[in-house]
Amino acid sequence: MKEHYACVCIKEFPAQSMLRLRPELRNCACVVMKGDPPLEQVCSLNRKARLLGLVPGMTKVEVETFEQITMLKRTAAEEAAAGEALLACAGGFSPRVEECSVNGMFLCVIDVAGTEKLFGPAEVLAHKLLSELQRLGFIACIAVSSQFHAAIIAARGLLANNPVTVIPAGMEKETLAALPLSVLDLTPDQAETFSLWGIRTLGALADLPLKGLIARLGQAGKCMHELAHGTRSHLFQSVEPAFSLSEHMEFDSPIEMLDALLFVVNTMLEQLILRATARVFALASVTITLKLEGGTTHVRTVRPALPSIDRLLWLKLLHLDLDAHTPQAAILAATVTAEPGSTSKVQLGLFSPQLPEPSRLDVTLARISAIVGEENAGCAVLNDTHAPDAFRIEPFQVLSTHSKAVPSVTVRPATRLIRPAENMSVTIQDSKPESFFFRDRKYTVERAYGPWLSSGDWWNPSLWGYEQWDLVAYTQAGAMLCCSAVRDILRNDWQMAALYD
């Protein structure tokens, strides 16, 4: 069958993908900013903004010098959703769609061969497609050609005021001839070479002798020559539905018991594992999304150290997790999605010591996490900072090598750190603590050592500063207390940090 392709080109895709859901802004000058404050930059903009003189790369402050500009923040999710919507729309015209977007421009090519009976001739099809896209809120350009690349190049070269072109078969070279070289994705080197040669249009490129071009630019030269002639062949790679592991179930009546839920989840897991194993995958993580009464959702994810296809293990882990985080209302529907991971195989040596099974350790860890909270289970690692108590919890890791450095053991006085530090009230005399109340008792300070000062992060809003005192104090009854009191300099409050034996 004769080949026939329609290419959809959406320029300024980040801006368009945001404006499609915000029709009220379409008549305003809008820019889309990327980057984190304070270093945001314009990455895409609409026509109105361009006419005002805005260009990509401007910073927020530069944009603010213009009046009545709407700044939007770029979101990958909205772009992805827009992309999906576009592909879905394209899919309505043919099941064979190939996406070939380039930086900031959405491009997809639809194989429309044999659709004449359904949609009419190419011109009609293109307009139908265009109006479909307009309904979705996009300003698009569409080129139809019997040549895949010619369709893309022509679509890229089109302007919004003349958004549709149909290239007659065999006229590709002539149609493309007037287009500038910028419609090809040239490397900076190639662009420089062509500019030196005075080659500015595809027509001029097409007129160069092929042999001479290949001798100078190699296969890339041949490729560009063919593109300019509209003769470059292409192997169509249509978008396949992504492989996803997901099961969804709506319940006839709301479920309140966890056991009942797990019964259903068991079946869903079985299905997922079956699908995963068919592709020689295991499950790396499982996410359960519960739709609850009242419109809320409850999402939990379980991720053991190694991917697994052990259904009972998964069930146990989910059970423990849901036990620790029970949903707050009755469950209306459940979705279980899983991430595929490679199947784990452990080669055990005949003489190597028997280790506990990793899955059992996972279960144990999950039990601990369920009790103490995930943020409190793992391995404590000190941070490189002077700030007090600065540490983070990292997941347990199996180290490939063991550190040979043996930490030096020095005898230190025994200290009981108070976690969390307790508030105390302190009376000061001559800039030193004189007496304090701690746990409802008054102590008189006999000796005070300090203050030990520390401060840091002065360049951040999170700046901190503490003074620490080592105190020897007595109650009226004569009971002695050796302790470490800390004053937060910024807030001027005192806390008992530690007691010395």
The size of the interface with other proteins (CB under 8 A), counted in residues, is 42
| CB 334, min distance to other proteins, A | 43
The encoded tokens of residue 263 equal 């019964």
- Per CB under 8 A, 59 contacts other proteins: yes
| Nearest by Cα to 416 from 357, 334, 500 | 500
Taking CA atoms, 112 is separated from 62, 124, 151, 200, 346, in Å, by 45, 12, 12, 32, 50
Dihedral sign from CA coordinates of 369, 374, 375, 379: positive
DSSP secondary structure letters along 478-495: --EEEEEEEEETTTTEEE
Element (H, E) at 186: none
DSSP secondary structure letters along 57-88: T-BHHHHHTSSSEEEEE--HHHHHHHHHHHHH
- Per CB under 8 A, 190 contacts other proteins: no
- Per CB under 8 A, 485 contacts other proteins: no
| CB 485, min distance to other proteins, A | 14
**What gap in Å lies between CA 9 and CA 99, rounded to an integer?**
10
- Per CB under 8 A, 212 contacts other proteins: yes
- Per CB under 8 A, 393 contacts other proteins: no
User: For other proteins, which is the closer residue by CB, 396 or 452?
Assistant: 452
- Please identify which residue in 76, 196, 346, 350 interacts with other proteins, judged by CB under 8 A: 196
Taking CA atoms, 290 is separated from 175, 244, 261, 284, in Å, by 56, 18, 10, 20
- Candidate segments 24-32, 202-210, 231-239, 490-498, binder of other proteins by CB under 8 A: 202-210
- Per CB under 8 A, 103 contacts other proteins: no
- Per CB under 8 A, 455 contacts other proteins: yes
With b for 16 or more beta-carbon neighbours within 10 A and e for fewer, the 210-230 pattern comes to eeebeeebeeebeebbbbbbb
Amino acid at 188: P
**What gap in Å lies between CA 370 and CA 363, rounded to an integer?**
10
- Candidate segments 37-45, 152-160, 275-283, 302-310, binder of other proteins by CB under 8 A: 37-45
User: For other proteins, which is the closer residue by CB, 183 or 208?
Assistant: 208
- Per CB under 8 A, 379 contacts other proteins: no
Angle at 295 between CA 293 and CA 300, to 5 degrees: 85
Name, in order, each residue with C-beta under 8 angstroms of 187's C-beta and a sequence gap of 6 or more: none
- Between β-strands 441-456 and 464-474, what pairing exists: parallel, antiparallel or unpaired? antiparallel
- Candidate segments 72-80, 190-198, 302-310, 312-320, binder of other proteins by CB under 8 A: 190-198
| CB 451, min distance to other proteins, A | 6
- Per CB under 8 A, 408 contacts other proteins: yes
**What gap in Å lies between CA 127 and CA 261, rounded to an integer?**
50
- Per CB under 8 A, 61 contacts other proteins: yes
User: For other proteins, which is the closer residue by CB, 114 or 212?
Assistant: 212
User: For other proteins, which is the closer residue by CB, 92 or 456?
Assistant: 456
- Please identify which residue in 452, 475, 480, 490 interacts with other proteins, judged by CB under 8 A: 452
**What gap in Å lies between CA 292 and CA 325, rounded to an integer?**
14
User: For other proteins, which is the closer residue by CB, 73 or 216?
Assistant: 216
Q: How many CA atoms lie within 13 A of 359 on its CB side?
A: 16
| CB 328, min distance to other proteins, A | 39
- Per CB under 8 A, 201 contacts other proteins: no
- Per CB under 8 A, 188 contacts other proteins: no
- Candidate segments 16-24, 101-109, 148-156, 208-216, binder of other proteins by CB under 8 A: 208-216
| CB 105, min distance to other proteins, A | 22
Amino acid at 473: A
- Please identify which residue in 99, 132, 207, 374 interacts with other proteins, judged by CB under 8 A: 207
**φ, ψ at 284 (rounded to 5°):** -90, -35
| CB 41, min distance to other proteins, A | 8
- Per CB under 8 A, 392 contacts other proteins: no
Q: For tokens 């590709």, name the residue.
A: 172
With b for 16 or more beta-carbon neighbours within 10 A and e for fewer, the 313-345 pattern comes to bbbbbbbbbbebeebeeebbebbbbbbbbeeee
**What gap in Å lies between CA 40 and CA 473, rounded to an integer?**
55
User: For other proteins, which is the closer residue by CB, 351 or 459?
Assistant: 459
- Candidate segments 11-19, 46-54, 381-389, 435-443, binder of other proteins by CB under 8 A: 381-389
Q: Please, are residues 306 and 351 in contact by the beta-carbon 8 Å criterion?
A: no
| CB 250, min distance to other proteins, A | 48
- Please identify which residue in 33, 43, 49, 58 interacts with other proteins, judged by CB under 8 A: 58
- Per CB under 8 A, 428 contacts other proteins: no
Classify 354 as helix, strand or coil: coil
- Candidate segments 33-41, 263-271, 438-446, 472-480, binder of other proteins by CB under 8 A: 33-41
- Candidate segments 90-98, 240-248, 253-261, 450-458, binder of other proteins by CB under 8 A: 450-458
User: For other proteins, which is the closer residue by CB, 37 or 353?
Assistant: 37
| CB 137, min distance to other proteins, A | 31
**What gap in Å lies between CA 58 and CA 49, rounded to an integer?**
12
Which residues contact other proteins by CB under 8 A? 37-39, 58-62, 193, 196-199, 207-209, 212, 215-217, 381-386, 405, 407-408, 450-456, 458-461, 465, 468
